[in-house]
Chain A
Amino acid sequence: MSVDLEHYLIVSGLLFSIGLYVTLAKQSFIGVLIGIEMMFNAVNLSFISFARFVESGDPISGHVFVVFTITVSAAEAATALALAVLLYRVKGTVEVERMDLLKW
């Protein structure tokens, strides 16, 4: 009984698909952001597991990439949540279906 790269990649794939479902299907803007954070995390897990298992000349690059991904995700979460608060001020709600100014 051992744990290989495939196990981690399956966990990462499941997490990514659950995150995708949460992003596409939730009714609240913050629900969408929760899904996006979950997808970021799934991608991070796959990078780290590749860095651990796969033949490479520079295995630490996986970790460095994850450092940058975490940084960018934090910046994006801050900006997106500021947008959520601003949207609430303008529209009175954060439901995704009400953001319909571009509809014909």
Chain B
Amino acid sequence: MGLLAMLLEGEWYDFGDLAEQIEDWGAPDEAAYVLATLVATVVILLWAVLSVLAFIWIERRVVALMQNRKGPNRVGPAGLLQPVADALKLLMKEAITTAGADRILFWAAPIIIFVPTLAIFAIFPWGENMVLADLNVGVLFLLAIAGINTPAVFLAGWSSNNKYALLGSMRTIAMLISYEIIQVLALLAPVLFVSSMRMADIVSWQEDYVWIVLIQPLGLLAYIIAGAVEMNRSPADNAEAESEIVAGYHTEYGGIKFGFFYQGEYLAGFAIAAAVVTLYFGGWTLFGLEEWIPGWSIFLGKLYTIFFIYIWSRGTLPRLRIDQLMGFAWKFLLPLTIANVLIVGAEVLIWRENELSSWEALPAIAVVNLALGVVLFAGWARFLGHGKGTQAASGAILTQEIGTVHFKPAVGTEAGS
């Protein structure tokens, strides 16, 4: 109980401190470290899995609210036991292996997709000294784990012995590799500011200076969009929408194997939200509030807020077509993120070469980046032809008025002939 009191009060234990505590209770040196790591891993994984369970309910209710209907409200009080019902249903369903499918790969593909996503949670700093794996290349590790998904998705699609699953997995892989490049470039910008890839260093830089979201709006936007696509979430869930290609690469998966995919998606969502919070929104710091509240609760609050943005976009935005998605990545986001890296590099160079103090440099950088971000975003969109005035509503060909509503024919089209 002493440990619990310390955790809640104000002295945050490093996982190394946890090892020392266990050693005080009489365990040999290396075993103490292994035990501490095990305890930390179990706590993080329990949190991840319980959050997934909670968010199944929260997401469905929130999306239902946005769509002006009630969500699940049958199972348990206000539908709170819905995730439990979902989990039980998935566990009790027969997990069929299709005839002609490659048995070992079919069985292994959900596991290969699910397990690396759990590994991402090790690198985030949950509190002041609470990092499970303080990697020097934390940001790159995040991207590498996102990259491990691609062959696993292919194996899931190919081992199902189903042409539609294979096609769906090809489309998903095309989406994933396009947005992986954008993720890498978007995450380069905070690394350029901090000149370190360690997550703890990035958080302490943000504690000293300013949250990176204020000086990097374009990078944040690019990373949030790329993250949504990496998670196969609406508006980019082309690969698994029922009206598109049955269910893409997990068509043939039923029962708990589908449960793995389902849970893996939510876990990937939490991982990307955690990355956004750590890299752009300051991690566990909140302008000094972390003296009184546990740092990890601030982190979790911010994480859930960012995940809410994803739920919000799911409830609001329509699904994009696959060619619209790919065009968006290669034609729009990629030049923007490259320009972003160039601009950030130039700014950091000017800052360091002239040895400006942070009080004069950072507001200038913030204003310049915000202005350039808005200009580049809107200007490039206008250049590609997606501006405001270029898509006039084309008139209905058969009838030109419905009731008292008149449609103006589009300029240049021949209406009604």
Q: Quick check: do A and B touch in the complex, using CB within 8 A?
A: no
